[in-house]
Amino acid sequence: MFNNLKLGVKLNLLLAAILLLLMITIGATLSIVIQGYAEEVVTEKALLLIETMNSVRNYTSTQVNPELASRLETEELFLPQTVPAYSSREVFEYLRNSDRYRNFFYKEATLNPTNLRDKADSFEAEIINSFRNDSQQQQQGFRNIPGGEIFYIARPLSVTKESCLRCHGSPEEAPASLLATYGTDNGFGWKLNEIVGAQVISVPASQVLEDARRLRLLVVGKILIFLVLAVVLLNVFLKFVITNPINEMSHLSKKLSMGDLDVEFEQKSNDEIGILAASLNRLKASLKIAMEMLDSK
């Protein structure tokens, strides 16, 4: 079957197979590389923000809290500015006031929070429970929410110090101002070293992923155009340098075989085709001499 095809068709079939393989390989490799790059971009953003929030938490507990701690005993209402969880959330809300960061989210999601805005939703509760069950230090991934695709990083929040239990242990021990502000129902009963929640940062990923897809399409498209152009050029080369001269020689040989001794095989080049033309010319000359010898007898 393959042997019955013309040279041009054979070559094009081969090229099509190579092209297909090449495009599949390039497409798959690009997918992995560009997807990896997009993930790196969003991971970098999320990590920077979560570390910044940890700095805010540190600042609050080492510099703000000592200044205001004494007022917690005397003021009627609680001063949430002394609490790292509060200050980091508030700082992040200021960041979100800017249009650029409106779709970024930060939450110290907790199963039993003092402030109900920190209550873990079902997705966050699942993460917290998995932190409780094994000793993972971080979870991350993409997630589809109504606003588009987001990338999140979550880290466990645990009760690291005995002093936390003053406000999160039992209501009897908590400052009166805390009870006056938050009541006695929420955020108590935590245990030392218990994982009570998760720091969750979410950054929008739709745009980055969309850019990555567009980049992949652009690169694959350009390579495809280049390869198709190469195939067209190869076909032109094949036609003028190989198939046309061979067709011409086979046409002349046919005439020669039928007795036309005046045919002329023109040698236009010094490549294999040219050498073949010269050989055929010599063959024709020998044939002519042989015929003349036969005629003269």
CA atoms within 13 A on the CB side of 169: 13
CB of 175 to ligand HEC, least distance (A): 6
**What is d(CA 163, CA 180) in angstroms, rounded to the nearest whole number?**
20
Indicate whether 120 belongs to the interface with ligand HEC (CB under 6 A): no
Q: Which part of the chain contacts ligand HEC (CB under 6 A), choosing from 131-139, 156-164, 246-254, 286-294?
A: 156-164
Shortest distance (Å) from residue 65 CB to ligand HEC: 8
User: Exposure pattern of 272-290 as b/e (b: 16+ CB <10 Å)?
Assistant: ebeeebeebbeebeeeeee
- Which C-beta is closer to ligand HEC: that of 187 or that of 204? 187
User: Smallest Cα–Cα separation from 217: which of 41, 42, 23, 38?
Assistant: 23
φ, ψ at 28 (rounded to 5°): -65, -45
Question: Contact between 86 and ligand HEC (CB under 6 A)?
Answer: yes
Q: Which is nearer to ligand HEC, 34 or 178 (CB)?
A: 178
Q: Determine if 245 is a binding residue for ligand HEC (CB under 6 A).
A: no
Spatial neighbors of 188 by CB under 8 A, at least 6 apart, are: 112, 168, 169, 170, 171, 174
Calpha distance 123→154 (Å, rounded):
11
**Residues in contact with 7: Cβ distance below 8 Å, sequence separation at least 6, in sequence order:** 238, 242, 243
Whichever of 110 and 256 has its CB closer to ligand HEC, that residue is: 110
Residue number with CB closer to ligand HEC (157 or 277): 157
Contact status: 166 vs ligand HEC (CB under 6 A): yes
- Contact between 105 and ligand HEC (CB under 6 A)? no
CB of 144 to ligand HEC, least distance (A): 26
Q: Segment 58-77, which members bind ligand HEC (CB under 6 A)?
A: 72
Question: Where along the sequence are the contacts to ligand HEC (CB under 6 A)?
Answer: 72, 78, 80, 83, 85-86, 108, 110, 113-115, 118, 157, 159-161, 163-164, 166-168, 178, 182, 187, 196-197
